[in-house]
Structure 1
Amino acid sequence: MISDVQNKLRLIFKRTLLLLAVFFIACLIADVVLRIYGFTYFNPYIVDPDVGFSLRPHAEGLRSNEGMTYIKIR
């Protein structure tokens, strides 16, 4: 009786571990593919020691957080 419960728990643990491993590998593959194709996220901000964050000079790109907007910073 106890061995049946242990076997079921062991099987559930193995399947969960396999599912997590497959998910992790799929995320790694997706990351590599996006890097190969040159996909980047437009971030117009840089770290500024005085104010925390500031706009990057001469940054331009397509921003799609709240609608599609092309941004060009002088």
Structure 2
Amino acid sequence: MSDKKKKGRTGEQEVVDLVKCPNCLSKLILLPESFPMYDVQCSRCLFRAQVKTVHSKPKASIFGAGWRILEKVLK
């Protein structure tokens, strides 16, 4: 596993350990590595999210996922 993948997986695990679902406050679970687009999912309401791991000083902007892909999936 590459260093970049290890850091990403560590970030995903940290989100699962520290963050509750924003919809129902239930536990988040990791999705399999091969799962398309999403990294974590709520164990109760099926909320899904993509985790972005950044290893730099905090900035004034928030990094986001690929909105073009998301728009196509939602259509």
* TM-score category, normalised to shorter length: under 0.3
> Which one has the largest radius of gyration?
1
- Higher helix residue share: 1
Could you say which structure has the greater relative contact order, defined with CA pairs below 8 angstroms and 6 or more residues apart? 2
Q: TM-score normalized by structure 2?
A: 0.27
Q: TM-score normalized by structure 1?
A: 0.28
